[in-house]
């Protein structure tokens, strides 16, 4: 029992409620948001340290022992993801201060921001399947509001589609929960894992597992990503950075949790399906990233490629590839947030969305140029930077499990990432400025630079300090490879 | 009893999906609320429809119906209620700004 692990959920929730009352005072809202996120960051660091020293932490809500009550579980994976989420949130918050616009800030932008955080963090920490559904809904409803806030025509149109897809996937989630409850009669994840092991995973349970896979794949953009490129191109850059870094990763986290903890007995069937979906995701994402000449779309397809890559790590399910998936997940959240913030700065300073209308930004914005170059290399996985270790581990895991074709595809998708991002780099930063957009030079405020520089430092630290970080992520991987650690921590108190 | 409920839920799902695949936005929203009705009934049915007293201790019966799915359904109902009302207002707003409720005309990439 450890009451601290509810704090990362409670802090944004209370902050959001307070922010509702001071919606007219933009400056006050900013200060409250920053203080809350920084405080939460410290709490998350404390939790990571605690999990490192004392093992998996659990909290039984209301003192009801599991499986009867709701339990919050902070194992290393959840703790690290909460920490990464808060780093990303702090950066996106700084970036949104001057870029989001006063009108949006007065209409509860920061409150929605905090509710989104509450949903994401709750999803990471919960140990109950239906509570996961509720946290998903908290996150999704906040994301509906954030994506439509401002109400331009494009936002209205894309939000309709985004909402429809998510309503359908949430409905399927409830249906899957209903089937699972009808079959095994419990909703606590640790208890579910035991019950599924008892009655053997066959027939009906494999079908339920596949249904969960479809639900989470819709959220994560794994193969079923048709909604993603359009929806993520509608909101302002700060919101897209938040979505690109967090929302799809929550879906991936749910896939990791479900298929390492609950349905981990039949590794032949469902894991093969995940492998095929990962392959299709990487191929289609690479095609999209290479095909478009529109900065926003190239970045959106890059999200999809990395989702496929992490799913490949999950599909291999060896201890190496699970370690690698955890590391790559952390790296990807930070790097994608940085990529989208830089993308937003580039679009704002070039005044255009298409690569053909940009050019010569290296002269006016050299710092942005170098940061973009660094994050591009990090996403490809060039050694001193953060993407390297995760890719090596996932590829090694894939090879040791004999998935040669998939491994080749994963490496080829890195080339597509490299090509698409360097295309952006050369198009936007080299050459001459096209001139006709010079009429209104947009000044990028220094808070945007603070956000981008902070994340760039994180990308470098994650890469240079890989060995140190690996001592943490390998603990997360150990729980994933051996679910009995998780079950014992939750059920035997 | 479960068999009849399953058949009814199946029909609700079929009608809901058919509505969602149509062009008009209003039909799509009606389709989503049909789907949520179906899924709530499914939740109730999956916990077995055995006869027992309502889950109130004051009833002092020998057996009660399963209280867990009722709590889950209640949670899910208010969530889908909130989401549906947001969806309706969004559709209204979109109709005002975009001037159409035909999903075919809401396509497009860089046409603005």
Are the C-beta atoms of residues A105 and A29 closer than 8 Å to each other? Answer: yes
Task: Retrieve residue A276's tokens.
Answer: 């095929």
- Min distance B62 CA to chain A CA atoms (Å): 21
| Nearest-CB residue to B90 (from A148, A171, A181) | A148
The highest-confidence range among A257-266, A431-440, A459-468, B95-104, by mean pLDDT, is A459-468
Q: How near does any CA of chain A get to the CA of B26, in Å? A: 12
User: Is residue A292 helix, strand or coil?
Assistant: coil
Tell me, what's the pLDDT at A2? 84
Which residues of chain A neighbour B79 with C-beta distances below 8 Å?
Answer: 134, 137, 170
Find the mean pLDDT for residues A117-126: 96
Contact B98 A156 (CB under 8 A): yes
What would the mean pLDDT of A99-120 be, rounded to a whole number? 93
Residue-level pLDDT at A186: 92
**pLDDT at residue A199, rounded to an integer:** 85
Q: Do B36 and A154 touch (CB under 8 A)?
A: no
CB-CB: which of B39, B79, B94 is closest to A175? B39
Q: How close A353 comes to chain B (CA, Å)?
A: 10
- Touching check for B112 and chain A: CB below 8 Å? yes
Cβ distance of A160 and B110 shorter than 8 Å: no
- Residue B111 has a pLDDT of 44
Answer whether A395's CB lies under 8 Å from A318's CB.
no
Task: Please list the helix, strand and coil fractions of chain B in percent, rounded to the nearest 5, in that order.
Answer: 70, 5, 25
Residue A175: list chain B partners with CB under 8 A.
39, 42
| Record: contact A157-B108, CB cut-off 8 A | yes
To probe the interface with A, which of B27, B35, B84, B101 has the most A CB atoms within 10 Å?
B35
pLDDT of A270-281, one tens digit each?
A: 889 999 999 999
Contact with chain A for residue B82, Cβ under 8 A: yes
pLDDT beyond 80 at B87:
yes
Q: What is the pLDDT of residue A173?
A: 97
Residue B112's pLDDT band (cuts 50, 70, 90): very low
For A1-17, what is each residue's pLDDT tens digit? 689 999 999 999 999 99
Q: What pLDDT is stored for residue A404 in this prediction? A: 94
Q: What are phi and psi of A179, to 5 degrees?
A: -60, -45
- Report the C-alpha gap between B85 and A246 in whole angstroms: 26
Instruction: Provide mean pLDDT across the span A371-381.
Output: 94
Nearest by CB to residue A182, choosing from B46, B90, B108, is B46
8 Å CB contact of B93 and A144: no
- Contact criterion met (CB < 8 Å) for B43 and A294: no
In this prediction, residue A421 carries a pLDDT of 94
| Residue given tokens 């998510």 in the structure block | A166
- A156 → closest Cβ in B94, B109, B110: B94
pLDDT digits (tens, 9 = 90+) for A22-60: 988 999 999 999 999 999 999 999 999 999 999 999 999
User: Using 50, 70 and 90 to split pLDDT, how confident is the model at A120?
Assistant: very high
CB contact under 8 A, B90 and A160: yes
Distances (CA, A) of A462 to A176, A372, A385, A415, A419: 37, 17, 7, 22, 23
Say yes or no for a CB contact (<8 Å) between B91 and A160: yes
Residue A231 has which token pair? Answer: 């929806």
Residue A20: count of CB within 10 angstroms of its CB: 14
CA separation for the pair A267, A256 (Å, rounded): 13
Q: What is the pLDDT of residues A184-206, one digit of tens each?
A: 999 999 999 999 988 876 788 98
Across residues A255-275, what is the average pLDDT?
87
- Rounded average pLDDT over A95-100: 89
CA–CA separation, A335 and A302 (whole Å) = 11
ipTM: 0.95
- Helix, strand, coil percentages, rounded to 5, for chain A: 80, 5, 20
Average pLDDT over every residue of A223-247: 93
What is the average per-residue pLDDT within B85-100? 93
Is the minimum CB–CB distance between B98 and chain A shorter than 8 Å? yes
Could you give the CA distance from residue A480 to residue A255 in angstroms, rounded to a whole number? 12
| Neighbour-count burial of A280, counting CB atoms closer than 10 A to its CB (0-12 exposed, 13-18 middle, 19+ buried) | middle
Taking the CA of residue A140 and the nearest CA in chain B, the distance in Å comes to: 10
Considering only CB atoms, B32 lies closest to which of A156, A167, A175, namely A167
DSSP string computed for A173-242:
HHHHHHHHHHHH---BHHHHHHHHHHT-S-HHHHHHHHHHHHHHHHHHTSS--TTHHHHTTSS-HHHHHH
pLDDT of residue B109: 58
- The tokens describing A22, both together, are 């001071």
pLDDT, tens only, B23-80: 999 999 999 999 999 999 999 999 888 888 999 999 888 999 999 999 999 999 999 9
pLDDT at A146 over 60: yes
Asked if omega into B59 is within 30° of 0 (cis), the reply is: no
DSSP alpha helix (H) spans, A61-188: 76-99, 102-106, 109-125, 129-148, 153-184
Longest dimension (CA), chain B: 67
Identify which of B47, B90, B108 has the shortest CB distance to residue A163: B90
Confidence of residue A435 (pLDDT cuts 50, 70, 90): low
Mean of the pLDDT values across residues A114-122? Answer: 97
Name which residue leads in pLDDT, A431 or A222.
A222
């Amino acid at each position: 029992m450890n009451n601290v692990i509810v704090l990362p959920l409670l802090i944004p929730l209370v902050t959001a409620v307070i922010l509702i009352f001071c919606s007219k005072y933009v400056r006050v809202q900013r200060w409250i948001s920053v203080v809350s996120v920084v405080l939460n960051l410290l709490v998350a660091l404390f939790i990571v340290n605690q999990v490192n020293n004392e093992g998996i932490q659990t909290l039984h809500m209301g003192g009801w022992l599991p499986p009867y009550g709701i339990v919050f579980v902070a194992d290393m994976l959840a703790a690290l993801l909460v920490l990464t989420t808060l780093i990303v949130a702090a950066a996106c918050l700084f970036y949104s201060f001057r870029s989001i616009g006063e009108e949006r800030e007065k209409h509860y932008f920061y409150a929605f921001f905090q509710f989104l955080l509450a949903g994401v963090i709750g999803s990471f920490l919960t140990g109950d399947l239906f509570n996961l559904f509720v946290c998903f809904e908290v996150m999704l409803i906040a994301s509906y509001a954030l994506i439509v806030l401002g109400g331009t025509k494009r936002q209205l149109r894309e939000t309709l589609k985004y909402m429809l897809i998510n309503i359908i996937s949430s409905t399927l989630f409830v249906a899957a929960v209903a089937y699972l409850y009808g079959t095994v009669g419990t909703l606590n994840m640790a208890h579910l894992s035991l019950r599924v092991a008892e009655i053997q995973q066959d027939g009906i349970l494999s079908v339920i597992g596949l249904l969960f896979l479809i639900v989470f794949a819709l959220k994560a953009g794994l193969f079923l990503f048709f909604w993603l490129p359009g929806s993520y191109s509608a909101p302002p850059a700060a919101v897209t950075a938040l979505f690109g870094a967090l929302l799809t990763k929550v879906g991936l986290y749910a896939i990791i949790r479900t298929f390492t903890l609950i349905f981990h007995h039949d590794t032949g069937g469902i894991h093969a399906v995940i492998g095929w979906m990962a392959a299709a995701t990487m191929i289609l994402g690479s095609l999209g990233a290479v095909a478009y000449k529109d900065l926003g779309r190239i970045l959106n397809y890059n999200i999809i490629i990395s989702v496929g890559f992490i799913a490949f790590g999950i599909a291999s399910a060896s201890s190496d590839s699970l370690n690698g998936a955890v590391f790559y997940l952390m790296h990807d959240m930070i790097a994608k947030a940085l990529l989208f913030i830089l993308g937003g700065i580039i679009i704002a300073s070039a005044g255009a969305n298409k690569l053909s209308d940009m050019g010569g930004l290296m002269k006016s914005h050299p710092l942005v140029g170098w940061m973009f170059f660094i994050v591009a290399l990090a996403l490809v996985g060039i050694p001193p930077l953060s993407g390297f270790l995760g890719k090596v581990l996932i590829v090694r895991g894939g090879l040791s499990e004999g998935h040669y074709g998939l491994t080749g595809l994963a490496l080829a998708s890195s080339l597509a990432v490299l090509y698409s991002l360097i295309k952006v780099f050369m198009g936007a930063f080299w050459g001459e400025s096209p001139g006709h957009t010079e009429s209104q030079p947009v000044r990028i405020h220094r808070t945007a630079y603070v956000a981008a520089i902070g994340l760039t430092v994180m990308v470098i630290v994650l890469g240079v300090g890989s060995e140190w970080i690996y001592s943490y992520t390998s603990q997360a991987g150990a729980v994933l490879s051996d679910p009995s650690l998780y079950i014992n921590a939750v059920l035997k108190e | 009893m479960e068999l009849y409920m399953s058949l009814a839920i199946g029909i609700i799902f079929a009608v809901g999906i058919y509505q969602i695949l149509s062009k008009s936005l209003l039909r799509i929203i009606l389709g989503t609320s049909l789907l949520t009705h179906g899924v709530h009934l499914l939740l109730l049915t999956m916990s077995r429809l055995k006869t027992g007293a309502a889950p109130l201790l004051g009833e002092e019966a020998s057996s009660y119906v399963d209280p867990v799915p009722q709590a889950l359904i209640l949670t899910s109902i208010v969530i889908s209620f909130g989401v549906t009302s947001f969806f309706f207002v969004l559709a209204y707003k979109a109709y005002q700004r975009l001037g159409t409720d035909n999903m075919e005309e809401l396509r497009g990439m860089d046409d603005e």
